[in-house]
Amino acid sequence: MRLEQLQAFLKVAELGSFQQAALQSEVTQSTISRQIQGLESALKCQLFHRGAQAKLTVAGELFLRRARKICQEWDVASEEISSLFQGKQTELCVAAIHSVCVSSLPSLLPKFCLGHPHIQLRVTALGSDRALKVLQDGLVDVAIIMSHRSLTNTKELAIKPLYEEQICILMAGDHPLAAKKFITWKDLGPYPQVIFKDGYRMRRLVEDEFSRREIPLNVSLELNIPEAFYGVVQGSEMIALMPQSLVKPVIENPSFSVRYLFCPESGDRQDFRRQVSVVTTVDRLQMPPVAEFFNLVVDHYRCGALTVN
């Protein structure tokens, strides 16, 4: 059963004539006849009495109500999809890692809202794994996440790297390590660490680095709110490996010390970084509001520093 068969059926039922239906539809009468015959074959019944006038059979009268509903639903669906790709959506949902929510998004969101007053913008702070999952499940339109090696552009995903930033050591201002000129990975081993919960790529990044160096990771506490890290690190011997954007609020606070990892052989700072990317699905990128928000985020970092030292 095809849509054009239903449309031909409705037209003949309305006009009571195969010939008039063909004229109004701007097709041949034989085309209308084939469409009705195909429909009757699929339903295994006759829909019209053929004569001087095409009259509905009992089955045709019953099917008429259903055919109208099917075509009406098709019209509504077509209109909704057309509106979607014309930029007429009513909301746009974003999932982003906490550091982006507190650093970049506050200045970007008002710009988008002013340009799209009819769209309700919804933003949720999530870990990278969860943010990518809700994007792939269709619960959000855009995700801003920490990248990893396997995250690449595919037929389903559109990915744009935004920036890289250094990973720092956050500790109390009077922490024993704060007095050291050079801090190495081995120096971190004896101290209890605060790390992100499962689902946060920062956690896996830290775990992988300790594992690669065969240094035990002394996990004392798991958190998922960056501000909570400050409270537990301050006044204790706990340390946390965190992106520079998350330690920026306390970097001038004497209650905290922010240090970098160094290579003991060369005395140079180690290149321990993370990359952040914006991600959406290829089909969503065809929707004007999603494309505009995606490009707004990309342009923000393109105009600024792509690398945070």
H or E stretch covering 227: helix 226-233
Here the CATH number for the domain that contains residue 71 is 1.10.10.10
Q: What is the extent of the structural domain holding 64? A: 3-85
Tokens at 277, concatenated? 């990317």
pLDDT digits (tens, 9 = 90+) for 246-272: 999 899 999 999 999 988 766 678 889
β-pairing, 91-96 with 142-146? parallel
Burial environment of residue 169 by CB neighbours within 10 A (0 to 12, 13 to 18, 19 or more):
buried
For residues 39 and 76, give the distance between their C-alpha atoms in angstroms, rounded to a whole number: 23
β-pairing, 157-172 with 142-146? unpaired
Question: Percent of the chain, pLDDT > 70?
Answer: 96
Is 81 contained in some domain? yes
Residues in Cβ contact with 13 at an 8 Å cutoff, skipping those fewer than 6 apart: 48, 54, 56, 60, 64
Is 232 contained in some domain? no
8 Å CB contact between 284 and 139: no
Rounded average pLDDT over 47-74: 91
The neighbour count for residue 125, using CB atoms within 10 Å, is 19
DSSP-based three-state secondary structure for 79: helix
Taking all residues of the chain, what is their mean pLDDT, rounded to a whole number?
90
Is 231 contained in some domain? no
Is 133 contained in some domain? no
Is 248 contained in some domain? no
Reported confidence tier of residue 112, pLDDT bands at 50, 70, 90 = very high
Is 243 contained in some domain? no
DSSP-based three-state secondary structure for 65: helix
- Predicted TM-score of the model (pTM): 0.76
> What was the pLDDT predicted at 306?
43
Number of domains within the chain = 1
